[in-house]
Structure 1
Amino acid sequence: MIGQHDVDFYKENGYLLVKGVFGQAEVEEMRGAVERIIQRAAQAKRDENSAWQGDFLPPAELKKLVLKGFHDVHYHEACFTRAVVHPNMTAILSQLIGPDVQLHHSKMLVKPPENGAAFPMHQDYPYFPHEKHSMLAASVHLDMADEKNGCLRVVPGSHTQGGLPHVGSYYLNHKEYPISDGLPCPAEAGDVLFFNYLTIHGSDANRSERTRRNVLFQYKDASDYPTENVHIDWGSGLMICGGNPRFDKAKPDFSIKG
């Protein structure tokens, strides 16, 4: 799927857009799965609005914004489990990360038409810091994404700055790092945008009449361990490529609560 020049581009810029990773039938299947998850979440009264609440818009405008986001989609629909380990994905990941790749978590993000919320510029690093910074996000596009419907924006090369101070540990100061400074990454359905968790990124609001649906898979090197006990899910540690070098670090330590 990618060549050495793509790998070099990723290492230098901290992101890489790969076209046509998933076919039309696979995209359609995942679109249907997204709708079913939203329906089941609503039935379970877990249909939260995940829109960012900040000070860059008046309160009246913030109330109108919607961003549907749910974690661990591979536990809700089997097509996402297949997508996580898709041969095209593993071929790319083994070159960007290395021979031994683990899944950290998955989630879906849906920006509905006309009021799909923006997400300010940030790094993913503060959410789940790791020793070697091998962590990357693979954002799978289920719709065409452009500037009108809030496509992802990145700051090329920003991953070389290391971890930056975030407001409340979640986002960068929007006055210093406005969304408009990010390079837009328009993509078509089936394309995947890979970016390191230190790469500054964000997205503008969806001002179009088109939905923007993305599914995001977070991957890392199997020998890259967390520096803090944060954001660990049941699926953390699932092997995607190769093997786990440490038998005693094969899975998170969980206890069942009633």
Structure 2
Amino acid sequence: MMDGAGEKKESKLTVLQQAVDHYKLHGYAIIKSHLSQETVDEIKKTVNHLESKVVCVPSPFKSQKKGSAKHLIQSAHQVVGFSAGPKKPIQQIGHNLHGMVDVISSLCYGDKVWSLCKALSIKDPRIVQSKFVLKPANHGWRVPAHTDEQFIFTRPLSGAGFWWALDRCSKENGCLEIIPGSHHEFKMQTRFVCDHSMLCTTFSVIPPLEHERRVTWTNKCAKKYKSRFKFLEMEPG
């Protein structure tokens, strides 16, 4: 027989293991109410504060001009706002929230995240970047279909992305979309890199792996496999 506390702990472990199994098979998993409403509210207050305080610069993703990625490179150690252009609403704030924003630091280095890392068998977890993604209506740039390995590239593949909804996410307001199992099926042709000598960004070809069986993902694939995309609608937390 197990007491109430023991049952609750076992239930949490079961939910976590189910999420991990789903993640490994499908490439994603949704854990409902992972954050408390109190934490969500605190983070949203932080977002509102940063929107009015951070230095905002145009996104470097649409330009390969010399110096265009200066602020992106600096944001590895700072907190910078990025917009689609001058006088446009901020679309992203990053990329060192975990090092400079207390509420995010507490989350990233707290038990919730480290329990996930342990369940995913990540032996030496390192935080590469952290950011807020804002989606102001009718503003910003469209993010093309991609895999995380295109932007966070390691060999062997070892990255894992954690996303938390601060508002209800639906297909009407730009929730995440995914092709379940696509990490087993497709490989990316190029990866995103920063040219530190020119302070700009570009894409370089990813060398093929020996015995690679995945299909190469190209821009045409997004249209071809459009019907297979699934909307990841979810509530805050």
| 1:169 Cα deviation from its structure 2 partner | 3.0
For the 8 Å contact 1:49–1:68, the answer to whether it is kept is no
Q: Give the Cα–Cα distance (whole angstroms) in 2 for the partners of residues 115 and 180 of structure 1.
A: 23
| 1:76 Cα deviation from its structure 2 partner | 3.4
Residue 240 of structure 1 corresponds to none
Q: Which amino acid aligns with 2:110?
A: H
| 1:165 Cα deviation from its structure 2 partner | 0.9
For the 8 Å contact 1:71–1:106, the answer to whether it is kept is yes
2:201 is the counterpart of 1:154: no
Structure 2 unpaired stretches of 5+? 1-11, 64-83, 192-201, 205-216
**Residues 1-258 of structure 1: pairs in structure 2 closer than 5 A:** 1=12, 2-41=15-54, 46-50=55-59, 53=62, 67-161=91-185, 163-166=187-190, 169=203, 173-178=218-223, 180-181=226-227, 182-190=229-237
Q: Give the Cα–Cα distance (whole angstroms) in 2 for the partners of residues 40 and 66 of structure 1.
A: 11
Q: Which amino acid aligns with 2:122?
A: G
Rate the CA distance shift 1:131–1:141 in 2: closer, same or farther, 3 A.
Answer: same
Query: Which secondary structure state, in structure 1, belongs to the residue aligned with residue 40 of structure 2?
Result: helix
Q: Which amino acid aligns with 2:102?
A: A
Identity %: 22
Q: Give the Cα–Cα distance (whole angstroms) in 1 for the partners of residues 221 and 190 of structure 2.
A: 11
Rate the CA distance shift 1:159–1:114 in 2: closer, same or farther, 3 A.
Answer: same
Q: Give the Cα–Cα distance (whole angstroms) in 1 for the partners of residues 60 and 143 of structure 2.
A: 8
Q: Give the Cα–Cα distance (whole angstroms) in 2 for the partners of residues 48 and 173 of structure 1.
A: 29
**Structure 1 or 2: more strand by fraction:** 1
Residue 195 of structure 2 corresponds to none
Give the TM-score taking structure 1 as reference length.
0.60
Rate the CA distance shift 1:126–1:89 in 2: closer, same or farther, 3 A.
Answer: same
Residue 243 of structure 1 corresponds to none
Q: Give the Cα–Cα distance (whole angstroms) in 1 for the partners of residues 113 and 98 of structure 2.
A: 15
Taking CA–CA contacts closer than 8 Å with sequence separation of 6 or more, which of the two structures ends up with the larger relative contact order?
A: 1
| 1:29 Cα deviation from its structure 2 partner | 0.8
For the 8 Å contact 1:69–1:108, the answer to whether it is kept is yes
Rate the CA distance shift 1:18–1:83 in 2: closer, same or farther, 3 A.
Answer: same
| 1:89 Cα deviation from its structure 2 partner | 2.2
Q: Give the root-mean-square deviation of aligned CA atoms.
A: 2.8
Q: Which amino acid aligns with 2:231?
A: P
| 1:31 Cα deviation from its structure 2 partner | 0.7
Q: Which amino acid aligns with 2:106?
A: R
Rate the CA distance shift 1:149–1:116 in 2: closer, same or farther, 3 A.
Answer: farther
Q: Which amino acid aligns with 1:48?
A: V
For the 8 Å contact 1:51–1:117, the answer to whether it is kept is no
| 1:94 Cα deviation from its structure 2 partner | 1.0
For the 8 Å contact 2:152–2:159, the answer to whether it is kept is no
**Structure 1 or 2: more helix by fraction:** 2
| 1:108 Cα deviation from its structure 2 partner | 1.4
| 1:121 Cα deviation from its structure 2 partner | 0.3
For the 8 Å contact 2:92–2:131, the answer to whether it is kept is no
Aligned length: 178
Q: Give the Cα–Cα distance (whole angstroms) in 2 for the partners of residues 74 and 66 of structure 1.
A: 19
